[in-house]
Amino acid sequence: MMKLMQLWTSRSDKQTEESTDNGTAGKGKYTMKPTRTLRFTRNGAHRISTGLVIAAALLFMHRNTMAIAPVDIGTGSGFAVLAGAGITAAGAVNTTTITGDIGTYPTTNITGLGNVVLNGTNHAGDAVTQTAKSDLTLAYNDAVGRPPTTSYGAIYNLGGSSLTSGVYNGISSFFITGALTLDAGGDPNAVWIFQAYSTLITADGSQVILTNGARAANVFWQVGSSATLGTYSAFAGNILAMDSITLTTGATVDGRVLARNGAVSLDSNTINAVPEPAGALLIGFGTAVILAVRRRFPSCIRFDS
């Protein structure tokens, strides 16, 4: 905008050939020759505001590309439950509901499947499961290797905390009592990565609360040994455990339970595999911005001096 005003008000010590050709008599006055009509009096303010919106949108996209990247689970994103040493579902018939696929490899035993309402595919130990297990290893190593933004000593209780996007490292174990709040601050692409050197344990009735645009798909719990969720606890995020994962009676997970080597044990639980975070949101948003620009400015505006 400043350059435009400078071009509009510029003066020269000699009259230009272009100004003579366009019939201007003022000494050295520049004449702008747009390739399409400029209507600053009627449409200028609207176009400026549109430009500011587009600039803000592009800045938002750029800021998010500089933020913490989510952990890529690969083909494991289609699984709600993935294990290395079998899956067990206790409880009564149809008391566990799983939305997403299940599989286990190299141990392919699945017991208590009659107690499960499965809204997905049981891949058992097939090739799809094997590929997902390989991708899980890559994802786990990625999560381990992220540089922490915050570090905790000993066994740390995350309960009662409100945390913004970051990589949180625990040199021992993470424990959750009460409520842990993850606040995205209005950014739907905010990412949390928790690195527990040993265990992850949640107390009975504890909660992981997502607020201000936080998404379970963007929360990752890397666990160096085993994870245990207390009875009737409400958990959010993707658990990537080296060993076993146990969901006690009534525990719910908005996310995934993915065990590299150990078993996954269930008991009257609800697991909802949320969509994996990816570039689709930014790509779609960027496409919408480009289309809006092309509709608003179907031809370029050129200024000749």
Give the model confidence (pLDDT) of 212-239 as tens digits.
999 999 999 999 999 999 999 999 999 9
- pLDDT(245) > 60: yes
Q: What is the pLDDT of residue 97?
A: 98
What is the average pLDDT value for the chain, to the nearest integer?
80
Tokens of 171: 């040199």
In a domain, 301, yes or no: no
pLDDT band at 154 (very low <50, low <70, confident <90, very high): confident
Model pLDDT, residue 223: 98
Tens-digit pLDDT profile for residues 261-292: 999 999 999 999 977 554 434 434 443 444 44
The answer to whether the Cα torsion of 146, 152, 154, 156 is positive or negative is negative
As separate numbers, helices (DSSP H) first and strands (DSSP E) second, the chain gives: 5, 20
Q: Under 8 Å CB-to-CB from 304, ≥6 apart: which residues?
A: 18, 32, 33
- The verdict on 51 and 94 lying in the same domain is no
Domain-embedded: residue 145: yes
Q: Is the same domain home to 125 and 143?
A: yes
Looking at residue 127, what is its pLDDT?
A: 98
Asked if the structure places residue 193 within a domain, the reply is: yes
278-295 burial code (b ≥16 CB/10 A, e <16):
eeeeeeeeeeebeeeeee
**CA-based torsion, 239, 220, 145, 183: positive or negative:** negative
The closest alpha carbon to 50, from 302, 303, 295, 299, belongs to: 295
Tell me, letter by letter, the H, E, C secondary structure of 241-283: ECCCEEECCCCEEEEEEEECCCCEEEECCEEECCCCCCCHHHH
Q: Could you tell me if 26 and 134 lie in one domain?
A: no
Asked whether residue 98 falls in the same domain as residue 204, the answer is yes
- Answer yes or no: do 259 and 284 share one domain: no
First to last CA, the chain: 17
| Both tokens assigned to 238 | 């993707």
| pLDDT-based confidence at residue 296 (cuts at 50, 70, 90) | low
Residue 258, domain extent: 74-272
Q: Does residue 141 lie in a domain region?
A: yes
Is the peptide bond prior to 106 cis by the omega test (within 30 degrees of 0)? yes
Number of domains in the chain: 2
Query: What number of residues does the chain have?
Result: 305
- Residue 78 sits in the same domain as residue 60: no
240 and 120 in a common domain: yes
Say yes or no to pLDDT of 161 above 60.
yes
What's the pLDDT score for residue 275? 72
Q: Which residue has the tokens 């959010």?
A: 236
| In a shared domain, residues 119 and 249 | yes
Cβ(256)–Cβ(80) under 8 Å?
A: yes
Q: Are residues 197 and 250 in the same domain?
A: yes
pLDDT, tens digit, for every residue of 43-91?
Answer: 444 444 444 444 444 444 444 435 899 999 999 999 999 999 999 999 9
Residue (of 60, 56, 38, 59) closest to 47 by Cα position: 38
Check whether residue 110 and residue 41 sit in a common domain: no
Asked whether residue 155 is assigned to any structural domain, the reply reads yes
Tell me the C-alpha distance between 239 and 224, whole Å.
11
pLDDT-based confidence at 12, cuts 50/70/90? very low
Residues 174 and 240 in one domain: yes
- The residue type found at 38 is L
- Tell me what the mean pLDDT of segment 248-261 comes to: 98
CB 265 within 8 A of CB 239: no
Q: Is the pTM of this model over 0.75?
A: no
Are residue 284 and residue 213 in the same domain, yes or no? no
Pairing state between β 200-202 and 101-111: unpaired
